[in-house]
């Protein structure tokens, strides 16, 4: 988990023409933008077990804009691997108050859209 923000070298948001990925009953899932969360080798397992990604309070203004059409990724800064594609299922401030010892309160509960190797 870690900082978001505008899409720069430190992760964050990007926009594009959208991409279609297999969806559920409603047909293909179309993404019109994306968000990259960061984690480390120490926090990756907790992110995956909880299906929860988090960022700092400072990043809440960006995180709260994540919607169903936002492709969500998780970048492991230790191994330099990108995990995804995920989609948001719930966005909130302190969805799980004790996750990561409370260090990353801007949180998104995610589901797997495309299970691909990192």
* Superfamily, domain 13-112: ph1033 like domains (3.10.590.10)
- The domain segmentation of the chain, as residue ranges, is 13-112
pTM value is 0.78
Integer Cα distance of 43 and 81 in angstroms: 14
* The pLDDT value given to residue 47: 96
* The pLDDT value given to residue 25: 52
Reported as a single tens digit per residue, the pLDDT across 8-56 is 233 344 334 344 445 555 556 789 999 999 999 999 999 999 999 999 9
Q: Of residues 63 and 21, which shows the higher confidence score?
A: 63
CA-wise closest residue to 106 among 60, 70, 67, 68:
60
Reported as a single tens digit per residue, the pLDDT across 99-116 is 999 999 999 999 998 777
């Amino acid at each position: 988990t870690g900082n978001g923000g505008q899409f720069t070298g430190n992760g964050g948001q990007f926009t594009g023409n959208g991409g279609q990925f297999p969806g559920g009953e409603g047909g293909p899932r179309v993404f019109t933008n994306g968000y990259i969360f960061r984690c480390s080798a120490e926090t990756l397992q907790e992110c995956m077990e909880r299906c929860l990604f988090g960022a700092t309070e400072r990043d809440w203004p960006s995180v709260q804009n994540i919607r169903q059409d936002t492709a969500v990724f998780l970048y492991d800064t230790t191994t330099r691997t990108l995990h995804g594609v995920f989609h948001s299922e719930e966005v909130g401030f302190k969805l799980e108050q004790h996750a990561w010892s409370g260090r990353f309160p801007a949180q998104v509960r995610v589901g797997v859209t495309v299970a691909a190797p990192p």
